[in-house]
Amino acid sequence: MRVSWGAAILSFVATVASAQTENLYRVEIDLSQQTAYLIRGRRVVMQSPISTGRYGHLTGTGSFKVIEKERNHCSSIYGKIVDANGRTVIADADVDMRVPRGCKFVPAPMPWFMRFHGADGMHAGYLPGYPASHGCVRMPDRLAIAFYNAVDVGTPVTVFGRTPRTNEYFRYGPQPQRGPWPWSRQQVGPQYEAQPRVYDSRPVYP
């Protein structure tokens, strides 16, 4: 009788654990496809185009967890240098750069920030159509919000694949962009849809 009760308890615990696992979210980031997937159990519930780290600042691969969430995050390293009138002098600057007299360094905004490894995190930002960040995973604004609202600190994040090189990619970074705030420009093209899109449930790819 003790054996039967023990087996029943183990079976119950396994069933509860399985049900809890099926209701948990996780994020998978495919560098090759430049796509992030929000997965619940074994079903993809949302996916987003992304722009990951460019060469020299590649997004690291591996298994991680969300370790911090911040609604209004700003980079402590990267940004731009502007003059006294707010005009951009250097669009792709870092804190170690010499700031000309009369100018100032403005940190890059990274709203809806979800840190998962070192300085790397997912956040809303400009998507030029190829890897262009310093290691973070940029998403369209509303999809970043949808991912932010779904994940918690501790949510698993898996990054895999190989960062592609494209014709648009320059050796020392992305092509120059028009406008003073390249990371805050609106996304262009159907691949950067503004509205979050919920996809039909389907099995996770192998």
According to the model, what pLDDT value does residue 92 have? Answer: 78
Cα four-point dihedral sign 171, 174, 178, 180: negative
Res 105: pLDDT: 87
Give the domains, in start order, of the chain with CATH numbers. Answer: 25-192 (2.40.440.10)
> What pLDDT is attached to residue 177?
42
pLDDT digits 0-9 by tens, 136-163? 999 999 999 999 999 999 999 999 999 9
CA distances from 31 to 35, 100, 109, 158 (A): 7, 37, 23, 11
Question: pTM of the predicted model, to two decimals?
Answer: 0.69
Measured between alpha carbons, how far is 31 from 24 in angstroms, rounded to an integer? 23
Which pLDDT score, from 0 to 100, does residue 95 have?
A: 80
45-79 pLDDT per residue, tens: 999 999 999 888 899 999 999 999 999 988 887 88
137/118 Cα distance (integer angstroms): 13
pLDDT in tens, 162-204: 998 765 554 434 444 433 434 334 433 333 334 444 434 333 3
